[in-house]
Amino acid sequence: MSDKGIDRRSFLKGAAASAAAIGTHLAANSALAQTEKPSAESKDSGRPSERVIGRPGSDFMVDVIKATGIEYIASNPGSSFRSLQESIVNYGGNKKPEFLTCMHEESSVAMAHGYAKAAGKPMGMIAHGTVGLQHAAMAVYNAWCDRVPVVMFAGNFLDADKRRPGVEWYHSVQDPAALLRDFTKWDDQPVSLQHFAESVMRAYKIATTVPMGPVLITADGDLAEEAVHDEKKLRIPKLTRSIPPQGDSGAVAEAAKLLVAAEQPVIIADRACRSQEGMKRLVGLAEALNAPVVDIGGRMNFPTTHYLCRSEDRRQLIGQADVVLLLEVADPWGQFNTISDPHHEYRRFAKPDVKTIHVCLGDTLTKSNYQDMQRFMSVDLPIAGDAQATLPALAEAVKSAGGIARRVSLTDRTTKLRDDYRQMKERARTAASQGWNASPCSTARMSATLYNTIKSEKWCVAVSGVQWNRNLWPATEYFNFLGGSGGSGVGYSAPAAVGAALANRDKGIVTVSIEGDGDLMYAPGVLWTAAHHKIPLLMVVHNNRAYHQEVMHLQKMAALHNRRMDTAAIGTTIEKPNIDFAKLAQSLGVHGEGPITDPAAIAPALTRALAAVKRGEPAVVDVVSQGR
Amino acid sequence: MKIEIVLSRFFSILVFGASALLAQEKPPAGSAERGYEAYMKYQCYTCHGTVGHGADRGTGPKLAPNPSPYAAFALQVRTPRLDMPAYRKPFLSDQELADIYAYLSSIKPSPPAKDIPLLDF
């Protein structure tokens, strides 16, 4: 459209009409004219700019999104959803949902991923149905593997007759969701606004029904840009959520019998808990059985301060176990067996006759192509049910199985269990002390110093590339640890931490992350997003100047192929030049510290960074670190 | 290949079993400075840390202070027990191995955990 074509008067009129609508939540029955002339008195000059659309379809789409309660929409702006973006901002008042400016669609989805785990509800995201979803794909896969809801919208122009030549054709697709269908729970491409309303509600409900996962709704560009027809007929269905299913009561009783009779029972929890209440339930069960718990950490499942929390002793515990209860464990086989690398020797570390029980909904959410289902294991008692929902019944059944004598004998284990716990903690501290004064800084010192900086705050580790936090830090709250990426797709950590920090911002929880240098370089623009939206996050860069895992893979390959052992750095290290993450952060408007090579300098840098975070800003502390 | 593994295992058990005896044998002469260079060049540090302190997530055990007796050390580096990559003679000379050993032997212990206030969890 040329400048000449813009009729200033009608433009202003149109703007006034939209301004009047700002903040009118659920304006579905608004009396705004649907396709109107700018004003009755203006003479029709026949110019296209005379035509304004006072109530575009995208306004109704915003009404629908508002009705879901989605508070944020993460997005890199794109023309295929320009109408929806404008409606979010001008019609919706850019509040609930608020448009978050992202610099990569992968960041948008990963932010939504981290946010959902911290907020306990999904965030929205919008992208081009073509190039945007292509960028987003890996992050969607992570969310899928991690069973985390993300409500995605895609812009598209389905009607070829209306597309402008050139880019709009490149940015149109028959079936936008095809690219993601292997790792999304559900998708739809609505062709009417009523269809849109129903599909968004369905999508939200499906995304948040356990096992949760990402969903995609196409918001057709023409549907969004054209006027709402027949407003009165439009209805936004009420959002209702499914109650998670409890495991069958007979099976639960059977499981309780096995567990109570066991001499060496072990509980393994992965994506088991969704809330503090879930943790409380798991503590209740573990105490009723006096059974050690291995928290694999897909979610925060068990307080690390509890004497039954024995995550680091997993191998030894499984080696001795006669009954193992698995709770929503993504890789059951891998808890009992392993395959060595690179020689592919099979090793089993569990007893051959160990009895297994798995409370899990994994089989109810499967697709065939991507292999996130992990290796098959014959479970003795597989219970299709939600772990958190099943725990109370299981704990009750345990309490009533076995007589008084058995209950007394279960408590006899306590002294030894407490002692084993103390020894495990002592081993962790001793291991952490090794290389304490080394430069590059040891990851244990980095972790311990971080804890010391934030220990008087309510804290959340949104992501971490090191294990020490779990082994060392006293963590009792569900919000303390958010778990990993799901699919191990690199590029997750930084945006997920920003998303989690956004969710934690209003709860007064200080969010920290231990961020890989390689991960951060995928899309460092998310730091700008954090600065722009004033999202306080304390990010420590675990800067080992390498895709460290890959260095080790190359060493293994060179040895396997009987070749020279001094070339593994080629293609795997991030040196020459070294990246200065403090400067990178500063250039994006973020408080930056480092590079820190002297371990004694970590603490003062973290203190300054925390002060920035307490002012509501993000901060990056670049610690030049050991490999792991 | 299976046989090789079995033999090397058997041999390693023998050698580890005899480690008390071997401990008394003097390691070959080496230079700690050159050893540090070799330790970095061959990237032992990626799995064991730059001061042989071991790494997070079971990547590699601690090697120093007080490395195991030289024969056991050499056997492990040449024909590792489990997942560690093998460093064979054509790609890591006996002298370099002796130098690495000298480097590991020169490493001073870290302060004990109880003396580190930050580890008072």
Q: List chain B domain ranges.
A: 18-108
Q: Is A627 on the interface with B (CB under 8 A)?
A: yes
Pull the structure tokens for residue A533.
């939206």
Q: Chains A and B: how many Cβ contacts under 8 Å?
A: 122
Contact residues, A window 472-501, toward B, CB-based 8 Å cutoff: 472-474
DSSP B68: P
pLDDT at A407: 82
pLDDT at B8: 43
pLDDT at A39: 52
Across the interface, do B111 and A431 touch by the CB < 8 Å criterion? no
User: For residue B62, which residues of chain A lie inside 8 Å, CB to CB?
Assistant: 431, 434
pLDDT at A262: 96
User: For residue A562, which residues of chain B lie inside 8 Å, CB to CB?
Assistant: 88
pLDDT at A542: 98
* Residue A133 buriedness (CB in 10 A; 0-12 / 13-18 / 19+): buried
Nearest Cα to Cα of residue A68 among A210, A234, A200: A200
Q: Is B22 on the interface with A (CB under 8 A)?
A: no
Token pair 């994994």 is at which residue? A362
Q: How far is CA A88 from CA A65, A91, A232, A259, in A?
A: 9, 6, 21, 53
Q: Are A484 and A535 in contact (CB under 8 A)?
A: no
Q: What is the DSSP string of A22-74?
A: TT-TT-TT----SSB-S-TTS-----GGG-B-SSBHHHHHHHHHHHHT--EEE
Residues of chain B with pLDDT under 50: 1-22
Q: How far is B103 from chain A (nearest CA, A)?
A: 15
- Indicate the residue of A434, A440, A466 with minimum beta-carbon distance to B110: A434
Q: Are B96 and B31 in contact (CB under 8 A)?
A: no
User: For residue A473, which residues of chain B lie inside 8 Å, CB to CB?
Assistant: 121
Q: How far is A349 from chain B (nearest CA, A)?
A: 15
Domain A435-624 has CATH 3.30.460.30: no
Across the interface, do B85 and A565 touch by the CB < 8 Å criterion? yes
Nearest Cα to Cα of residue A497 among A510, A488, A506, A487: A510
- Indicate the residue of B45, B83, B113 with minimum beta-carbon distance to A433: B113
- This complex has an ipTM of 0.88
Q: How far is B100 from chain A (nearest CA, A)?
A: 14
Across the interface, do A435 and B59 touch by the CB < 8 Å criterion? no
pLDDT at A297: 97
Query: Residue type at A266?
Result: V
Across the interface, do A436 and B111 touch by the CB < 8 Å criterion? yes
Token pair 């407490």 is at which residue? A418
- Residue A508 contacts by C-beta under 8 Å, 6 or more apart in sequence? A458
Across the interface, do A628 and B59 touch by the CB < 8 Å criterion? yes
Q: Is A568 on the interface with B (CB under 8 A)?
A: yes
* pLDDT averaged over every residue in chain B: 85
Across the interface, do B83 and A628 touch by the CB < 8 Å criterion? no
pLDDT at A47: 92
Strand, coil or helix: A227:
strand
Q: How many residues does chain B have?
A: 121
- Cα(A50)–Cα(A46) distance, rounded to whole angstroms? 7
pLDDT at A135: 98
State which CATH number among 1.10.357.10, 1.10.760.10, 3.20.20.70, 3.10.450.50 fits the domain covering B18-108.
1.10.760.10
Q: How far is A593 from chain B (nearest CA, A)?
A: 21
Pull the structure tokens for residue A501.
């920090």
Predicted TM-score (pTM) of the model is 0.92
Which tens digits make up the pLDDT trace of B35-55? 999 999 999 999 999 999 998
- Cα(A178)–Cα(A298) distance, rounded to whole angstroms? 28
Which tens digits make up the pLDDT trace of A132-146? 999 999 999 999 999
User: For residue B88, which residues of chain A lie inside 8 Å, CB to CB?
Assistant: 559, 562
Q: Are A462 and A539 in contact (CB under 8 A)?
A: no
Nearest CA in chain B to A446: B118
pLDDT at A6: 37
- Cα(A540)–Cα(A624) distance, rounded to whole angstroms? 10
Residues of chain A with pLDDT under 70: 1-44
State which CATH number among 3.40.350.10, 3.40.718.10, 3.40.50.1220, 3.30.390.10 fits the domain covering A249-426.
3.40.50.1220
Task: Pick from A566, A570, A602 the residue to mutate for testing the B interface (most B CBs within 10 Å).
Answer: A566
**CATH 3.40.50.970 in chain A, residue ranges:** 57-233, 435-624
**CATH 3.40.50.1220 in chain A, residue ranges:** 249-426
Task: Pick from B4, B40, B43 the residue to mutate for testing the A interface (most A CBs within 10 Å).
Answer: B43
Domain A57-233 has CATH 3.30.465.10: no
Strand, coil or helix: A624:
strand
Q: How far is A307 from chain B (nearest CA, A)?
A: 14
Pull the structure tokens for residue A557.
């390959």
Across the interface, do B43 and A440 touch by the CB < 8 Å criterion? no
- Cα(A624)–Cα(A405) distance, rounded to whole angstroms? 57
Q: How far is CA A133 from CA A121, A201, A203, B3, in A?
A: 22, 21, 17, 51
Tell me how many degrees the CA angle A200-A133-A56 measures, rounded to the nearest 5: 45
- Cα(A400)–Cα(A413) distance, rounded to whole angstroms? 19
Token pair 């000059």 is at which residue? A45
